[in-house]
Structure 1
Amino acid sequence: MLACENGHLNIVKYLLKKGASILEVTDYDSDFVANRNGLILASLNGHLDVVKYLIEKGADILYRDDDSSAITVAYKQGHKNIVQYLITKEKNISYKDTNSWTSLMTVV
């Protein structure tokens, strides 16, 4: 998770090659990162190269932590390049969260 959060693509690649789970979520003792996966953390911090790699390896674009998805955290942080990329990769663009909002509704 820290490698994704800090944009260390080579370490992310190494860890996944060694069997780390792309589905793993954070268990840090922090409300800020609770239940976030690598894709959300990379999106939050603007690491497009890590985001692309995680998507290529099968990361779930639709995964949400307690209240955010990768696309919503990228939007809130002003990472337009990540938002645009994720929109092109999201196969189920009409998927609604627990508030009945789609990702597009959130960022528009």
Structure 2
Amino acid sequence: AACSGGHFKIVKLLLQNGADVNAQGEDSDTALRSASSRGHTKIAELLLQNGADVNAQAKDSDSPLRSACSSGHLKMVKLLLQKGADVNAQGKDSDTPLCSACSGCHFKVVELLLQNGADVNAKGQDSDTPLHSACSRGYIKVVELLLQNGAAVNAQGKDADTPLHSACSGGH
């Protein structure tokens, strides 16, 4: 709760008194993932300095990187990548951080992930690629960026649909 609420002083005090930085809550959440999803970069830095696992992921939760990407927290994404986060780690539904960033139309995050080696054609939920996701939502700038970085224009996803199908079904 302290991490998700952005309570730096409380987090610091708890760590100084022996709090387990990698403990998972009842919902399988970690402190680092909570801080990452809400963009609390200063808290994330403190957790990482105290041994938080940058790639920790419980079966019912996303990685800290994917959570930051879903929310579009660019500074957090930069920090996690600098600390060794797996840019292609798949989450509970098989989506990658890139898929999550594309779903939210977080252009700068997509750009950063690609610069750091994200697999532009990784298949996630329903076997869709990041391009499927961007096309279905009509995010033209993200679509252009993915294509410039080698996204497979005819990749088949769920029910053999291509990104073109996704764009059409989304009205784009």
Common fold by TM > 0.5:
yes
Quote the Cα distance in structure 2 between the aligned partners of 1:94 and 1:5: 23
> What is the aligned residue count?
100
Q: Does 1:85 align with 2:79?
A: yes
- Match runs of 1:64-79 below 5 Å: 64-65=57-58, 66-79=60-73
Give the RMSD, CA atoms, in angstroms: 2.2
Q: Which residue of 1 is the match for residue 105 of structure 2?
A: none
Given the two structures, how large is their TM-score scaled by the length of structure 2? 0.51
Residue identity in the other structure for 2:43? V
Distance 1:94 1:7, change over 3 A: closer
In 1, the alpha carbon distance for the partners of 2:71 and 2:100 equals 13
Distance in structure 2 (CA, Å) of the matches to 1:94 and 1:45: 19
* TM-score, scaled relative to structure 1: 0.78
Local SS of the residue matching 2:3? helix
What 5-or-longer segments of structure 2 have no aligned partner?
102-109, 111-172
SS in 2 for 1:43: helix
Aligned-residue identity in percent = 32
Q: Is the 8 A contact 2:69 2:97 kept in 1?
A: no
Larger Rg: 2
| Higher mean C-alpha deviation, range 42-51 or range 18-27 | 18-27
Counterpart Cα distance in 2 of 1:45 and 1:106: 15
- Structure 1 residue ranges, 4+ long, deviating more than 6 angstroms after superposition: 98-102
* 1:18-97 mapped onto 2 (5 Å cutoff): 18-27=17-26, 34-65=27-58, 66-90=60-84, 93=86, 96-97=89-90
Q: Which amino acid aligns with 1:8?
A: H
Q: Is the 8 A contact 1:93 1:103 kept in 2?
A: no
**Counterpart contact for 2:66–2:100, Cα < 8 Å:** yes
Q: Which has the higher contact order (CA 8 A, sep 6+)?
A: 1
CA offsets 1:37-57 (integer angstroms, 9 cap, x no match): 000000111101000110111
